Structure 1
């Protein structure tokens, strides 16, 4: 008997039992449950063939074509499933919990395994995680001008036992025009949301959850509306660190990159900086005067971020003057300050 599980129960069981995603590689790449293993019933091309047959002929003809394509692969599916099953148990899903996952579950049960199906498939999972971001929570946002070391403060908060949602870490992007430097490829927005949801589900939402102030997008990925709205209603602790300290940090973080690559990044914000500033920044790069480049770019970023802070109406903003870029000390300061508000 194949067990059928809700999205919540499926994910809970998925903490100890392997999840098999039987959708095509293209569907899996677009977005999947974190930790799931892709054992596609059809390749991308085969699924297209079956879909075409369904449209141009009939459902019966499409099913027959599907059987012809899948038949030679059945033994391979079973061998792979048996290798990863835990005490014979396996979890399976497709897009809507229909024919693909149902067929694979029947095959595995016939082969002696104990499969469980996700009711409603991946679509139900997506609906479930999106709802989870609407759950009332104790979010605390760390703000501050570019170069304030906010990400490192987050890491120190984590080291101090605090709950941390590192949006830039999950997005593989530091948020600015220079944010892709030194980072792995970004996930799709869908996968970004899936990965965030896994972390989100592990939090104790009665205790503070720290995250960094971000715009709606982090590089090429988007923060979903439910989470973004929570961020914009949460208290914002803006650490105001002297520009000289921030310039030192930016030089340390970016001077290691190729000059030509840095020039490309500067040119990305040419319209915002203005022609004369860009010209001066490029000349400074040729001279390896990275401090001047940082100073020039901060003129733009500081004005933009300062304006953003001033125009927030639904968020309590606390501007905290801090003299030094010392992430561990600043993390401890934020923990203590939160207790006072």
Structure 2
């Protein structure tokens, strides 16, 4: 069957119908890719370097011939792999610019009866879109509060109440503190994080507010796009209040089950800021299993850091919301009522 060359507009609907193949090298794929795509390299990392060098030194014809010389012996292996994984024989393909590599893979697959949809402009077209999307103007409302106030849980409950949310920490695989990487998958690259971020933003209505958790510019080793971060600082912020006891209990639920050695390493990363005595006390409490003590110790530092970050937000756009001793359902109702101070009237759907 013949291939169909598709635009990015066509791509959005077709990718939900067919599996996606990325024909670039393993290294390119690891750096970033269209989420949910599968890597079937036409040229592997070392072969790509050889062909690229030849292209610069001797031109496209010799580079093309060399490319076929390198990949030709693997054609049968590629076909067997794709046929085994995708017996339905309908596939979406892309490479870097929609050029030689995706054309070769498309040609191979059409030879054995595949219906192929090849993305015009390749990954570069998709990446330009995602780069621009995370730097557009958005209507935001920031959910703030000191460590342990349950902001992520509230964010998830807001989503269940049909509110628009973006879970930045979930996308980043990091909870935003020295302890934030424990028990989490490896963080994506900055470029892949932006792709995931753009995918989440694409699902939102740009005319309605999007709830996000208050974050610093960095989430682990990832950096938020400057323009989006500045929008966060300028957006309305609802500062959640919880008792110290509630905060310690919530943190203990999440962190007391984690390996003690990793908790100790997280404490040691903060040694310069905590000081020697507080660091030693926290480590001793972790070893003894006294979670309330080491968590309370850490909150002294994190509370100061939060107050410092809170001062960066636009003046006059922060309100405090007392949720001390309040159950989750009532907390969401109060959050939605607080939202009306910035974004219009709230109607309780159960009324």
TM-score by length of 2: 0.88
| Unaligned 5+ runs, structure 1 | none
Give the whole-Å Cα distance in 2 for the aligned partners of 1:225 and 1:8: 27
Instruction: Note the C-alpha offset of 1:251.
Output: 2.2
Distance 1:266 1:110, change over 3 A: same
Point out the more displaced range, 5-14 or 138-147: 5-14
* Paired residues of 2:19 and 2:92 also in contact (CA < 8 A): yes
Instruction: Note the C-alpha offset of 1:233.
Output: 2.7
Give the whole-Å Cα distance in 2 for the aligned partners of 1:332 and 1:75: 60
Q: Counterpart in 2 of 1:70?
A: 71
Point out the more displaced range, 25-34 or 81-90: 81-90
Distance 1:272 1:8, change over 3 A: farther
Instruction: Note the C-alpha offset of 1:87.
Output: 6.9
Point out the more displaced range, 71-80 or 274-283: 71-80
Written as runs of structure 1 = structure 2, the 5 A alignment for 1:239-278 is 239-278=240-279
Written as runs of structure 1 = structure 2, the 5 A alignment for 1:1-341 is 2-55=3-56, 57-81=58-82, 89-313=90-314, 316-324=317-325, 326-341=327-342
- Secondary structure of the equivalent of 2:341? coil
Give the whole-Å Cα distance in 2 for the aligned partners of 1:9 and 1:328: 41
- Secondary structure of the equivalent of 2:278? helix
- Secondary structure of the equivalent of 2:238? strand
Give the whole-Å Cα distance in 2 for the aligned partners of 1:61 and 1:138: 52
CA RMSD, aligned part only? 2.4
Instruction: Note the C-alpha offset of 1:226.
Output: 3.7
Give the whole-Å Cα distance in 1 for the aligned partners of 2:199 and 2:102: 23
Distance 1:311 1:56, change over 3 A: closer
Distance 1:225 1:10, change over 3 A: farther
Give the whole-Å Cα distance in 2 for the aligned partners of 1:87 and 1:259: 48
Give the whole-Å Cα distance in 2 for the aligned partners of 1:311 and 1:169: 24
Instruction: Note the C-alpha offset of 1:301.
Output: 0.9
| Unaligned 5+ runs, structure 2 | 343-351
Give the whole-Å Cα distance in 2 for the aligned partners of 1:260 and 1:112: 55
Instruction: Note the C-alpha offset of 1:295.
Output: 1.5
Point out the more displaced range, 14-23 or 310-319: 310-319
- Secondary structure of the equivalent of 1:4? strand
Instruction: Note the C-alpha offset of 1:41.
Output: 0.5
Give the whole-Å Cα distance in 1 for the aligned partners of 2:270 and 2:6: 49
Point out the more displaced range, 145-154 or 234-243: 234-243
Distance 1:199 1:84, change over 3 A: farther
TM-score by length of 1: 0.90
* Paired residues of 1:96 and 1:121 also in contact (CA < 8 A): yes
Instruction: Note the C-alpha offset of 1:59.
Output: 3.5
Q: Number of residues paired by the alignment?
A: 341
* Paired residues of 1:18 and 1:86 also in contact (CA < 8 A): no
